[in-house]
Structure 1
Amino acid sequence: MTRTLILIRHCKSDWSANQEDHARPLNPRGRRAAPRLGAFLAAEGLAPDEVLCSDAMRTRETWAGIASQLPDAPAPTLSRTLYLADPAAMLTAIRAGTGTIVAVIGHNPGIGELAWSLAEKPPHDERFGMYPTGATTVLRVGAPWSDLTTGEVTHFTTPRDLPDPG
């Protein structure tokens, strides 16, 4: 069975909010960007059936914006372990996944490093190496989650690439 993994860096956060890092929310640009990602996933038939999400405010708000554009969006599994996680910690969480389309919402540098390490062939986009806010990579995975080592990149996008869903 083919599985799909979606790796999403949280959208732009609000550094002026004067909050500790874990509680930092999205800024207005980030709140506009997240629904763009959701509309993209919906249009591509990539609505996740499982969402693994850092429990930080900005990742939760990113998922809420994405979910607003998806039919039957699942409740995320919030995890403190995914907060500022390194690729190994994220991979452990993914390998325990049960969905067919699993989305992970996390932070850099870990989420970008994980995307790079899992990509059989990285996309020809210089932004992939930087993994800016809202960067989203979709990988087609042929192995069970428990055996995940690589996947084929089918999509790479950022909110700036996408239209406003209106």
Structure 2
Amino acid sequence: MARTLVVIRHAKSDWTHDLPDDQRPLNPRGQREAPLIGRWVAEHVGPVDLVLCSTAARARETLQRSGLTAGEVRHDERVYAAAPQDLMSVLDEVSDDLDTVAIVGHNPGVSELVGVLTGEPVELKTSAIAVVTWQGGWPDVWARGASLVSHATPRG
């Protein structure tokens, strides 16, 4: 069975406030660009079964403003500041009943994840999206070798 992973880096965040890293909101540019993420995914990927979102404020706000719809949304603290192997541990828990999953996270982890899975180095700038596919279950992605189908950075 074909699996699709949509890897999304959060939109541009605000550095002007003296806040802990995980509490930083989006800046005005990020607020403008987040809806473009949802539109791009709807047009190029289609329905998403599950979104795994970092618990950081900027990731949650990106998801909320994107308008991305999914059968289920999980806010998972393991996605925040995660290395590729940590993100794969989260994906290992995804039910094989689900075909399309999105992760909303942070660099360097999300860019490195795409590179590890596909063998293609990718730099996901803020608001960037990478679409990765492979045949098999969610835990199979390490062994099967995935393909980078699309890479985009919607800008407004």
After TM superposition, the score normalised by the length of structure 2 is: 0.90
Give the conservation status (yes or no) of the 8 Å contact 2:50–2:100.
Answer: yes
**1:101 and 2:100 are equivalent in the alignment:** yes
Q: 1:147 aligns with which of 137, 140, 153?
A: 140
1:50-104 Cα distance to aligned partner (Å, 9 max, x none): 01111000010111122x2x4x534421111111011111011012112210001
> 1:85 maps to which residue?
82
1:14 partner SS: coil
Give the strand-richer structure, 1 or 2: 2
Residues 14-25 of structure 1 correspond to what in structure 2 (within 5 A)? 14-25=14-25
Q: Secondary structure at the match of 1:39?
A: helix
* Alignment match of 2:153 (pick from 150, 155, 158): 158
5+ residue gaps, structure 1: none
CA pair 15-75 structure 1, distance change in 2 beyond 3 A: farther
Question: Does 1:135 pair with 2:128?
Answer: yes
Query: 2:52 is aligned with what amino acid?
Result: L
C-alpha contact 2:40 2:154 (8 A) present in aligned 1: no
Which residue matches 1:111? 110
Question: Which residue is equivalent to 1:57?
Answer: 57
**Secondary structure of 1:76's aligned partner:** strand
User: What letter is aligned with 2:47?
Assistant: A
Could you say if the C-alpha distance between residues 45 and 136 of structure 1 is closer, same or farther in structure 2, counting changes exceeding 3 Å?
closer
TM-score, normalised relative to structure 1: 0.85
Check the 8 A contact 2:6/2:132 in 1, yes or no.
Answer: yes
Cα displacement string for residues 106-135 of structure 1 (whole angstroms, at most 9, x for unaligned residues): 111111111111115x38xxxx2x321112
Tell me if the contact between 1:47 and 1:73 (Cα under 8 Å) persists in the aligned partners.
yes
User: Is this contact kept in 2: 1:34–1:134, CA < 8 A?
Assistant: yes
Q: Give the aligned residue type for 2:59.
A: T
Q: Is the 8 A contact 2:49 2:72 kept in 1?
A: no
Runs of at least 4 residues off by over 4 Å = none
Contact 1:17 1:25 in 2 (8 A): no
Q: Which runs of 5+ in 2 are unaligned?
A: none
Q: In percent, how many aligned pairs have the same letter?
A: 38
How many aligned residue pairs are there? Answer: 152
